[in-house]
Amino acid sequence: MPDTGVAVPEEDKRPINTHALEEIKAYLAHHAPRRPKANVESSELFVFGAWRWLRPESSLERLSKLQEDARLSELDTGEFARRLLEACEELEENHPKLRLWIAKRCALLEYRTSTLAELPTELPTTGISLNHSLFTGLMNYCDAGSPLTREQAVSALERAAAETLEQAMEAVGQIVCRTLSIRPNECRFWANLMLPEEFDFLASPLFSAFDSQQNIEDARELWGDPVKYEKCLVVVAETNDKVEYLGFWIPVLPNCRNPSAGAATAYYKARASAVFIDDPPPLGDDVSDGTHPKWVRYLRERFLQAVFVSVPFAIEVKGGQKKVPAIVNVNIDPANDRDFRRAYYPEWLRIIQREAAPLVCEAHKAFVLSRATLR
């Protein structure tokens, strides 16, 4: 059925979750127009192309075939992608149920049409600078010939570690926003560091504050008794000394083939992953059946931002496998609810992981040094 421009009742405007692919396919099959006849306006050809692009199987690799099918091959590929993007966005007014799906599909087209916002000039060398700061502090501590007393050296190292940890997490957040946002200067973000730990670690004085204890209990309510899990991924530090998620943990199993999106995917699969609060994904095999409703309720009632992106630092171990000793989660309030949808796609997430992983490594080193028993 072609797009008629008829007003849609309010009850039909609730957007379809982007993970409900069968429902999306059914909607597209019902509403997409047939192939236009010859000698029609180019605007109608772009409408046809937009509906084709909204199919889940459409990809950047097949974009030239889509352009050919829409009979728009005479256009430059970049111009075709730009106008196709506009046509997709225009469909949303009459098809609000596809709001999230259209935003997601447009974000992939942006990989062809957009230029990444330039990173601040200091960011490319931030990791080297932070590493130098930590190294200098550690040398002052270890060097018997240092002019500093033992206590002064410890204080200097602790100060360098704390500053490095804060700056590294902040820099990861900037990279995430500059890469994934269409309006990076209007985003607000907070970041935290997550480490895999034994459950005994939750008894550390690090989590003595009431808010931290509440976060630990919130996680227990979600995932159940930790005794059935191997260990946990736990938030151990946050930017600006906030206590929003400090102590919150997710379970870790010995092996998980289908992990939940977010930090679990970052840990098991060694790749960046994102979760949108208005479009929650299904949970994976790392948590119990029946947990999903509680998780969705937690996200909507307790999570304070609109989206979070989990960025791992991965190292190769024996047999070519990868191990993830640290993850930085960046929690973001975008300028609007269409922004940051690039985080759905590995094409975009690979960019931030490449740029940010060295900084996640520095955050990890800084935390370890800040917690070491040096006195």
pLDDT tens for 10-61 read 545 789 999 999 999 999 999 998 887 777 778 899 999 999 999 999 999 9
pLDDT exceeding 90 applies to what percent of the chain?
62
Tokens of 332: 């973001």
**Residue 132 confidence class, pLDDT cut points 50, 70, 90:** low
Torsion of CA 94, 28, 282, 89, to 10 degrees: -40
Cβ neighbours of residue 344 under 8 Å, at least 6 residues apart?
Answer: 18, 104, 107, 108, 274, 276
Question: What does the mean pLDDT of the chain come to?
Answer: 86
Apex 248 CA angle, 246 and 249, nearest 5: 135
CB-CB contact of 56 with 25 (8 Å): yes
Apex 352 CA angle, 351 and 358, nearest 5: 115
Check pLDDT > 50 for residue 166.
Answer: yes
50 in the Ramachandran plot: left (φ > 0), alpha (ψ -120 to 50) or beta? alpha
**Residue 162 confidence class, pLDDT cut points 50, 70, 90:** confident
- Predicted structure pTM score: 0.86
Check pLDDT > 60 for residue 68.
Answer: yes
Task: Identify the pLDDT of residue 289.
Answer: 82
Task: Identify the pLDDT of residue 145.
Answer: 52
**Residue 2 confidence class, pLDDT cut points 50, 70, 90:** very low
CB-CB contact of 224 with 250 (8 Å): no
Tokens of 368: 């370890």
Q: How far apart are CA 355 and CA 176, in angstroms?
A: 9
DSSP states of 87-151: HHHHHGGG-GGGHHHHHHHHHHHHHHH--PPPPPTTGGGHHHHHHHHHHHHHHHHH-TT-SS-HH
Average pLDDT of the segment spanning 351-361: 92
DSSP state of 334: -
Q: Which residues make beta-bridge pairs with 281? A: none
Q: How far apart are CA 308 and CA 287, in angstroms?
A: 19
CB-CB contact of 320 with 292 (8 Å): no
